[in-house]
């Protein structure tokens, strides 16, 4: 039987058996993939001996993961994160590489090896950290965004590290990246790289919108998925040809498509491919681990593993201390990023080929990286629970500790606070869920019954006795998070009446597809109030204003219902919107004329 097919069967069978067991023990799916790889690898059961073919295929998992990360980050948001890149990312890489490099040099007295080892181990695991943060509900807060800024900068640093490995190699190094431009000098390479990246940005950004519109009109989902894969893989390959990271190319494509109206469809369609390929990648990580070496040198391996966590942990805590991360989340931030990452295997392999690492040191790097990646979910969970205790609220609360109430509010920011204060003033008892630790502490000081946790977590909902509530107000300020909460509530508590805050029109349409008792756009009523003030100052009567607002509100609601199906069709949506605006103008003009006629009739003198 073909070795690729047989290896794929073994990989998938191991994943199907081991990963559910790991999830059952709350170890996380990624740890399960690594353990299944160790189990079937050449050093345990020996089912897999040649993994090169599957490993090459599995590397697409990293590419698709970075594509989806890019899809979540709009260019404007990336610009807003520039201070975090410098404050967290640059400091972390420089200080960690220096500290680890000095430690390695103390024992080996090899300068080039120490420099590369410091840089390789300074990089953390995007593939471990981001999914784990998401599972724990920490990916959208300040700590999660700060961690993301560090990870993104680390991903970018892979390219210069590869170049540095080639530069420091005693015998030179040939690698695939940049094969198209190796014949040019540095200035010519820079021009080619800049022009190519600029062309990619233009094509994806400008042409991409029309391309997806054309593909979507075919109503063939498989063609839509194929077109996404085509763009991501093609750009990744082009980036590799000009000497840049394929993963960086995938991230760039994702970021360029983040404002695309098809963004959510792209994300939903690609996620299963990413998860499967990423799982294969981590199985290959497990199969490549030399268990025999780890057992024979367990003292060295464990010492180096613990030293890595301590060195990176201290540096990360110090960076968080001087930054804007909340005091109770600094240790969690450090625990999230103190591991070595998946690029340790890739860059370590390059360094081994370049004769900078001997086999034993290369194997030690792999063992350290594997152990630290396996330990990360445990460390993150432990420090997150400790963070909960600082707030006097552990992640898994005592069910008897939460008092039941008829109304629950998820999210107590600027929107939720107004709703909550109004209801409290009417004598109603509230239970509040909030993800911001500082906000939880502040609200408790003011006497609110508030709990730290994510409303999309079933355990939290059980703890606050959601099954005994009558109303659940979803006031969180994140589009996808609110949909996830509502889907869970509709599934687990179908009798619960859900009232939701809508952030924008896209959000309204998504809420209309769900069982929601009431939908309120966060800026709609306040915007009408401003309009009412303007008309009052312009001398319009209160009765006329009241009728105009009623007409406008009814027309706007009917417009939303009418245009829902056309939202993803930019051209038709735009035409319909313009027509509805003209209809509204005519409707208000007609009402104005009728008001004038009535006023004129009343003021005319009666005939004698």
Condensed to tens digits (0 to 9), the pLDDT of residues 407-465 reads: 999 988 888 888 888 888 888 888 888 877 667 767 777 777 787 777 887 777 887 88
- Span 577-608, pLDDT tens digits: 566 566 656 666 666 666 666 655 655 555 54
372 shares its domain with 412: no
Rg (CA), the chain: 29
Query: Residue 397's pLDDT band (boundaries 50, 70, 90)?
Result: very low
User: What is the rounded CA–CA span in Å between residue 410 and residue 450?
Assistant: 10
Using alpha carbons only, give the angle 494, 497, 498 rounded to the nearest 5 degrees: 100
Residue 607 counted as domain residue: no
- Encode pLDDT of 62-91 as tens digits: 677 677 767 766 666 666 667 777 778 888
Across the chain, mean pLDDT equals 77
Query: Would you state the pLDDT for residue 571?
Result: 53
Cα separation, 16 vs 339, whole angstroms:
26
Residue 395 falls within a domain, yes or no? no
pLDDT at 307 over 80: yes
Neighbour-count burial for 131-159, b at 16+ CB within 10 Å, e otherwise: bbbeebbbbbbbbbbbbbbbbbbbbbbbb
137 and 271 in a single domain? The answer is yes
Please tell me whether residues 378 and 486 are part of one structural domain.
Answer: no
114-118, 282-286, 325-329 — most confident range: 114-118
1 pLDDT band (50/70/90 cuts)? very low
Q: What average pLDDT does this structure show over 279-307?
A: 84
Pair 186, 270 in one domain: yes
Q: Which domain holds residue 501?
A: 400-522
Please identify which residue in the block is written with the tokens 């490099």: 101
Give me the mean pLDDT over the 348-373 stretch.
86
How many domains are there within the chain? 3
Instruction: Tell me if 605 is assigned to some domain.
Output: no
The percent of residues above 70 in pLDDT, for the chain, comes to: 76
Q: What is the tens place of the pLDDT at every residue in 119-157?
A: 999 998 887 887 777 767 676 667 777 887 788 788 777
In degrees rounded to 5, what are phi and psi of residue 452? Answer: -85, 125
Are residues 409 and 375 both part of a single domain? no
Which range has highest mean pLDDT (88-102, 529-543, 593-607)?
88-102
Q: Which of 363, 390, 417 is the last residue of a domain?
A: 390
pTM over 0.75, yes/no:
no
Same-domain status, 298 and 438: no
At residue 103, the pLDDT reads 93
Among 390, 409, 437, the domain-final residue is 390
Closest listed residue to residue 471, CA positions, set 410, 398, 525: 410
Same structural domain, 299 and 341: yes
Residue 286 lies in a domain: yes
Q: Which class for 71: exposed (0-12), middle (13-18), buried (19 or more C-beta within 10 A)?
A: buried
Rounded Cα–Cα distance for residues 472 and 470 (Å): 7
Alpha-carbon distance 544 to 54, whole Å?
72
Q: How confident is the model at residue 302 (pLDDT cuts 50, 70, 90)?
A: very high
Residue-wise pLDDT for 161-200, tens only, equals 877 887 787 754 444 455 566 666 667 777 877 888 888 8
Same domain, yes or no: 175 and 68: yes
Q: Are residues 198 and 99 in the same domain?
A: yes
Write 53-60 long-range contacts (CB < 8 A, 24+).
53/3, 53/4, 53/7, 54/4, 54/7, 54/8, 54/11, 54/280, 54/284, 55/281, 55/284, 55/288, 57/277, 57/280, 58/277, 58/278, 58/280, 58/281, 58/283, 58/284, 59/281, 60/233, 60/277
CATH code: domain of residue 472: 3.40.50.720
Residues 196 and 76 in one domain: yes
pLDDT over 70 (residue 251): yes
User: Do 70 and 100 fall within a single domain?
Assistant: yes
Residue at 543 is within a domain: yes
Length of the chain: 608
- DSSP letter at 357 equals S
Domain boundary residue among 336, 368, 390? Answer: 390
Domain contains 606: no
Q: Closest by alpha carbon to 499, among 461, 525, 472, 526? A: 472
Higher pLDDT pick, 469 / 600: 469
Structure tokens at 508: 């309204």
Grade residue 96 by pLDDT with cuts at 50, 70 and 90: very high
User: Quick one: 146 and 271 in the same domain?
Assistant: yes
**Mean pLDDT score, 48-75:** 66
> Has residue 608 been placed in a domain?
no
Is 85 contained in some domain?
Answer: yes
Task: Quote the CA–CA distance of 494 and 516 in Å, as a whole number.
Answer: 11
């Amino acid at each position: 039987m073909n070795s690729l097919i047989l290896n794929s069967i073994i990989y998938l069978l191991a994943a199907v058996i081991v990963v559910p067991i790991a999830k059952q023990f709350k170890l996380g799916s990624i740890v399960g993939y690594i353990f299944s790889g160790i189990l079937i690898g050449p050093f345990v059961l020996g089912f897999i001996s040649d993994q090169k073919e599957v490993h090459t295929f599995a590397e697409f998992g990293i590419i698709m993961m970075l594509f989806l990360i890019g899809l979540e980050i709009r260019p404007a948001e990336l610009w807003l994160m520039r201070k975090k890149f410098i404050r967290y990312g640059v400091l972390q890489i420089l200080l960690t590489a220096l500290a680890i490099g000095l430690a390695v040099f103390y024992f080996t007295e090899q300068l080039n090896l120490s420099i590369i080892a410091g840089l390789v181990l300074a990089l953390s695991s995007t593939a471990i950290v981001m999914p784990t943060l998401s599972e724990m509900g920490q990916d959208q807060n300040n700590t999660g965004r700060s961690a993301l800024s560090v990870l993104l900068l680390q991903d970018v640093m892979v390219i210069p590290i590869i170049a540095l490995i080639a530069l420091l190699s005693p015998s030179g190094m040939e690698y695939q990246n940049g094969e198209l431009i190796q014949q040019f000098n540095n200035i010519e390479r820079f021009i080619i790289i800049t022009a190519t990246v600029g062309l990619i940005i233009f094509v994806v950004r400008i042409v991409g919108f029309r391309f997806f519109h054309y593909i979507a009109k075919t109503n063939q989902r498989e063609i839509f998925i194929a077109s996404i894969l085509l763009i991501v893989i093609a750009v990744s390959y082009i980036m590799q040809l000009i000497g840049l990271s394929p993963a960086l190319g995938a991230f760039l494509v994702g970021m360029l498509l983040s404002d695309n109206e098809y963004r959510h469809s792209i994300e939903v369609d690609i996620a299963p491919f990413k998860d499967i390929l990423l799982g294969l990648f981590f199985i290959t990580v497990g199969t490549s681990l030399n268990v025999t070496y780890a057992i024979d040198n367990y003292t060295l391996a464990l010492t180096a593993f613990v030293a890595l966590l301590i060195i990176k942990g201290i540096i990360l805590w110090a960076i968080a201390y001087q930054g804007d991360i909340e005091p109770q989340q600094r240790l969690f931030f450090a625990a999230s990023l103190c591991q070595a990452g998946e690029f340790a295997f890739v860059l370590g392999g390059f360094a081994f080929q370049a004769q900078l690492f001997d086999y034993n040191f290369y194997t030690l790097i792999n063992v350290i990286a594997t152990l630290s990646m396996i330990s990360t979910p445990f460390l993150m969970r432990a420090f997150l629970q400790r963070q909960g205790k600082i707030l006097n609220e552990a992640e898994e609360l005592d069910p008897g500790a939460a008092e039941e109430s008829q109304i629950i509010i998820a999210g107590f920011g600027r929107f939720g606070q107004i709703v909550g204060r109004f209801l409290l003033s009417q004598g109603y008892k509230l239970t509040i869920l909030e993800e911001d630790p500082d906000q939880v502490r502040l609200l408790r000081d003011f006497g609110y019954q508030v709990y730290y946790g994510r409303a999309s977590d079933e355990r939290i909902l059980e703890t606050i006795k959601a099954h005994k509530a009558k109303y659940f107000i979803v006031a969180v300020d994140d589009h996808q998070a609110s949909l996830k909460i509502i889907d869970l509530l509709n599934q687990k508590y179908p009798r619960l009446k859900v009232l939701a805050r809508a952030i924008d029109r896209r959000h309204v349409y998504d809420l209309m597809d769900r069982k929601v008792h009431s939908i309120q756009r966060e800026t709609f009523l306040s915007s009408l109030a401003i309009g009412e003030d303007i008309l009052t100052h312009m001398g319009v009567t209160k009765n006329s204003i009241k009728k105009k607002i009623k007409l406008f509100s009814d027309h706007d609601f009917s417009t939303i219902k009418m245009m829902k199906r056309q939202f993803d069709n930019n051209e038709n949506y735009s035409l319909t919107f313009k027509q509805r605006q003209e209809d509204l103008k005519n409707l208000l003009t007609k009402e104005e004329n009728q008001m004038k006629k009535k006023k004129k009739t009343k003021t005319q003198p009666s005939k004698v």
